[in-house]
Structure 1
Amino acid sequence: MLFDTHVHMNARQFLEDRDETIQRAFDTGVKYMVIVGFDRETIPLAIEIAEQYESIYAAVGWHPVDAIDMTDEDLNWIEELSAHPKVVAIGEMGLDYHWDKSPKDVQKEVFRKQIELAKRVNMPIIIHNREATEDIIEILQEENAQEVGGIMHCYNDSADYVQTCLDMNFYISLGGPVTFKNATMPKEVAVQVPADRLLVETDAPFLAPHPNRGKRNEPSYVKLVAEKIAELRGTSFEEISKLTTENAFSVFKIGGNE
């Protein structure tokens, strides 16, 4: 049994075959998933899909690339939606310095506002980080984000930062890059992360794992991620499946740890 902790089944890439793709994941042993909404279009659909499936949940937040588009009304809307019974986290949020749509100061302001929101509603946060590690850590520490903790989504940074993240009450989630032949950092992290802080995800439709790299990703492929982590850690696929699912229950406060 697997838990894909970060998937975008609300993306347009799944418009034609969403239900079939979800069923394929279930048939592969992926029983649980969290669909992440990150703007005005994807947030309502994330909740709508979660309402249709007992074991699918939603996260609601605002992506840093689009931070410049977020209004106070949007922030209030996200806070209202956080009370929905299928919403289990706030995010994805964070900083993205790769794209230049939203200025860094705007991204930081929106990031801080969402952390404050998460603390008000006492929900974990999902962090998007692209080329902004030092600033993200600084903001998380200044905003006392450890009060709610959360997930470092699709962690693809140096293993040197893992302990800092753990100390701030965050879980480390690994996706497709851990399977890439030329990706050394995720492999190092996969070995280093304590068993009780490790999660798996796809980030579908993005970042498909080997041997499907370059194709549309889907939640059934999280099995490939778990298998690779098991290989790297010298343990069984079944053990990785069990512990990452239990960890997801814990961070999202659902299932057996509710």
Structure 2
Amino acid sequence: MKLTDTHCHFDFDAFADNRAGHWQRAQAAGVHRLLIPGVEEAQWPGLPRLCRQLPGTRYALGLHPWWLKTASDQWQQKLITALNSAGNDCVAIGETGLDMACKVPMEKQEYAFVFQLRLACERGLPVVMHSHKTHDVLLKWLRRYPPVGGVVHGFAGSLQQAQNFWKLGIHIGVGGTITYERAQKTRNTMAAMPAESLVLETDAPDMPLCGFQGQPNHPERLPLVLQALADIRQQPLPELALTLEQNAARLLQW
């Protein structure tokens, strides 16, 4: 089975020792495609080069709420410039979003999110979203500026919220959280949602799986997320894997 990791920070320092080797490990585990989301403006110029070096990888361009505090006054124009010069390997806007625990004022976060959401709408690109206790606020803006598609990555909200995102064509990112027995709300949500609404992710090097606590996460562990999801849904693994691959290809036009 071939799998797509729809959210992996492969440009982070955790993989700097041997990125090609880490990618080979992931490929050996069955991961044949990987999306690297942009999180800050200093990172944007290097993403096209990285994806050229690692066949099977693509990237998104965006500003994460955690990096808003250190963003320059020109980040909006820099993002537009980066998008204008991007090739076909840039398949989404993001990682953008909102975070209730972030020290940046919510008004500033919403401004940055809406700016990126409108860019996604204008350019016909899906949007990759981070959300920490802000699902309903995201939904408000998504209804106002509906993109061509998107994903709420690392989803840990309610079933109703997941259903509301899917009604807008926004996929639900399934990651290592579901490997923990204690995450019953998230596990139950993933069991109840249509398989067509879900995509796999690791969020590596973050979001460690159960049994790997304290270790950097790795895209080679994506099959473990798939197995956990198949167990939760009581669905044949090959059938589920095929659907998830089709979802990722449709979402990212890949």
Superposition TM-score tier, normalisation by shorter sequence: over 0.9
Q: What SS does the corresponding residue of 1:209 show, helix, strand or coil? A: coil
Q: What SS does the corresponding residue of 1:113 show, helix, strand or coil? A: helix
Q: Which residue matches 2:26?
A: 25
Q: Which residue matches 2:92?
A: 89
Q: Determine the C-alpha separation between the residues in 1 that align with 2:112 and 2:71.
A: 8
Query: How far did 1:97 drift?
Result: 1.2
Q: What SS does the corresponding residue of 2:41 show, helix, strand or coil? A: coil
Between 131-140 and 54-63, the greater mean CA deviation after superposition:
131-140
Query: How far did 1:149 drift?
Result: 2.0
Q: Which residue matches 1:166?
A: 166
Q: Which residue matches 2:58?
A: 57
Q: What SS does the corresponding residue of 2:183 show, helix, strand or coil? A: coil
1:246 aligns with 2:243: no
Query: Which of 70, 86, 107 is residue 109 of structure 2 equivalent to?
Result: 107
Query: How far did 1:79 drift?
Result: 2.6
Q: Which residue matches 1:196?
A: 196
Structure 2 unaligned blocks of 5 or more: none
Contact 1:37 1:45 survives alignment (8 Å)? no
Q: Which residue matches 1:138?
A: 140
Q: How does 1:176-215 map to 2 (within 5 A)?
A: 176-215=176-215
Query: How far did 1:78 drift?
Result: 2.2
Q: What SS does the corresponding residue of 2:74 show, helix, strand or coil? A: helix
Query: How far did 1:12 drift?
Result: 1.2
Contact 1:4 1:219 survives alignment (8 Å)? yes
Between 207-216 and 90-99, the greater mean CA deviation after superposition:
207-216
Judged with a 3 Å threshold, the aligned counterparts in structure 2 of structure 1 residues 68 and 214 are, in CA distance, closer, same or farther, namely same
Contact 1:59 1:90 survives alignment (8 Å)? yes
Q: Determine the C-alpha separation between the residues in 1 that align with 2:44 and 2:178.
A: 28
Q: Which residue matches 1:236?
A: 236
Aligned positions, number: 251
TM-score by length of 2: 0.94
Q: Which residue matches 1:152?
A: 152
Q: What SS does the corresponding residue of 2:7 show, helix, strand or coil? A: strand
Between 195-204 and 231-240, the greater mean CA deviation after superposition:
231-240
Q: Determine the C-alpha separation between the residues in 2 that align with 1:162 and 1:201.
A: 16
Q: Determine the C-alpha separation between the residues in 2 that align with 1:157 and 1:119.
A: 25
Query: How far did 1:71 drift?
Result: 4.5
Q: Determine the C-alpha separation between the residues in 2 that align with 1:240 and 1:80.
A: 39
Contact 2:39 2:64 survives alignment (8 Å)? yes
Q: Which residue matches 2:15?
A: 14
Q: Deviations over 1:76-125 (max 9, x none)?
A: 3323333421000000111011121x111100100010011111111000
Between 128-137 and 194-203, the greater mean CA deviation after superposition:
128-137
Q: Determine the C-alpha separation between the residues in 2 that align with 1:25 and 1:132.
A: 32
Query: How far did 1:20 drift?
Result: 1.3
Pairwise CA RMSD of aligned residues?
1.5
1:98 aligns with 2:107: no
Judged with a 3 Å threshold, the aligned counterparts in structure 2 of structure 1 residues 10 and 179 are, in CA distance, closer, same or farther, namely same
Percent identity between the two aligned chains: 27
